[in-house]
Amino acid sequence: MSTPNENQPQNGQNGTSNHTQHSAADGTGTAVTGTGSSQDPRTAEGENARTLTTRQGHPLTNNQNLRTLGNRGPALLEQYAFLEKISHFDRERVPERVVHARGAGAHGVFEAYGKVGDQPIEKYTRAKLFNTAGKQTPVFVRFSTVGHGGHSPETLRDPRGFAVKFYTEDGNWDLVGNNLKVFFIRDAMKFPDLIHSQKPDPVTNRQSGERIFDFICNTPEAMHMVAFLFSPWGIPANYRQMQGSGVNTYKWVNQDGDAVLVKYHWEPLQGIKNLTAQEAEAIQAKNFNHATQDLFDNIKAGNFPEWELRVQIMSDDEHPELDFDPLDDTKIWPEDQFPHLPVGKMTLNRNPENYFAEVEQSAFGTGVLVDGLDFSDDKMLQGRTFSYSDTQRYRVGTNYLQLPINAPKKHVATNQRDGQMAYHVDSAPGQNNHINYEPSSLNGLKEAPRTAPEHMPAYSGRVVRQTLDRQNNFKQAGERYRLHEDWERDDLINNMVGALADADRKVSDKMVELCTNCDPDWGKRLAEGLAAARGGQQHEGGNQYNEGQQREASQQAEEVGHEAKPY
């Protein structure tokens, strides 16, 4: 089945209902209020206009039961349909992003290769967007910085968000990740603390290297991320020439319900370019919107950026032969053991017509998956699955999925009603509009038929609060340090010295210890750099987190400022 036309109007996109009211009989003599014609043309194969869906347009095959560990529970956090349903219900009676506030976006298309590497993709996943060579799926992509505000410079050291919304024939799929392939932490419980450490001090309202490294020095799993973030990889030259990664581990599910673990990687066909701190500061002095301008200008000129989507595949088990847990998002799967297999290509070919309506109000969530894609037991992913969509309901509103940029390009039929800024009802043609619940015998919505078995992983064990067994916090971080080119290592050391020179010695000494655990040369050079900086020697690191240089700049503004007479 071909993907619905990208330009086809969605429910209520013109601000009014696109159905006319009429009355009918439901066969029992009961008067039924319905809307429009009896068949919605945007239904997928096996659906009709009254097929119950989520607000992402995913057919809902079981609206009776939570997904639980055995039929007595406990319930799992990962079930998007329930979280969408209960979160909307919580908000039925009637702000800037906390993270990823600074962003740019563009429309485009994803073209499937119909294979994974040289193998039939149906062997691993039944997701329809991948199954036919040349099949095109509309996409919208939002790039962003993570920790800084909405009008912050795009030259700042920070991970970059890389979020892709696929408008598939089975509803939306959001692939939400970053430019770097690893993250700071492996458990979602620590996420608010991580972000607080990178946000401004609640007293001074300024960011500081001491706060960031105070958290990191007590979180050794973050060292792999440090090896990337404080090197030139922490400042991509622009959005077009940076990689993307899903970061977390997901699953692919085939027609038999069998699953494999999978990681997603976006490889820019324009190549990869990064900046040193000094280069970034020179660009910032001229243009702190440079990455947004670069993306917009290149697309406007017809220089459409492209990325190839590649996946790594691993059998769904614990893999005791590895020295790390494959669900640990602070680790990279070795490419020599798990090769990157191409599955398709994305091209961005259209700029937004209105930044606020399309880029600012675009909303993504890691729980937004289509049939054939599933969750792994990755604890960061399971926490993100609730948090991402929940923050969109708070930020944009409970009916954010009715906005054109977020609405799927297929039929939507739900029993969710009302809430802030509802501008149409997710009802189906011919549906009894009195019935906003299911099950019902009075011409309400019906569950979708199941066409393939559900993936049913088996579990046995105690419910605990523990970290992973194979932490191995330093090996891959040390390997990354040694893989850096000389100039990248120099930049890494200089930037860490700049951020730590004025930090409490408890923090800096612990960071030297952790770096030494990763690679003795790393620790030695950091210790030498800190000693020199504290001895009054100049260093070449960036000023972003250096409190001494920030204080100097504040004083300099008064000293060099030109006097003016009052008027």
User: Does the annotation list 388 as a binding residue?
Assistant: yes
| Cα–Cα distances in angstroms (integers) from residue 370 to residues 130, 172, 174, 305, 379, in the given order | 11, 7, 9, 26, 20
User: How far is residue 405's CA from residue 413's CA, in Å, rounded to a whole number?
Assistant: 18
d(CA 58, CA 566): 65
CA angle 548/549/554 to nearest 5° reads 100
> Residue 517 in 3-state DSSP?
helix
**Among 88, 137, 66, CA closest to 420:** 88
Task: List, as own/partner pairs, every contact residues 74-81 make where C-beta atoms lie below 8 angstroms and the sequence separation is at least 24, other chains included.
Answer: 74/463, 76/382, 77/382, 77/383, 77/385, 77/386, 78/367, 78/375, 78/381, 78/382, 78/385, 80/54, 80/56, 80/365, 80/367, 80/368, 80/369, 80/385, 80/389, 81/54
Count of residues making up the chain: 567
For residue 17, what are its two tokens? 């209902």
DSSP state of 338: S
In Å, the largest CA–CA distance within the chain is 91
Q: 218 Cβ partners below 8 Å, 6+ apart?
A: 510
Active-site residue set: 100, 178
Q: Give the residue numbers of the binding site.
A: 388
Q: Give the residue numbers of the binding site for heme.
A: 388
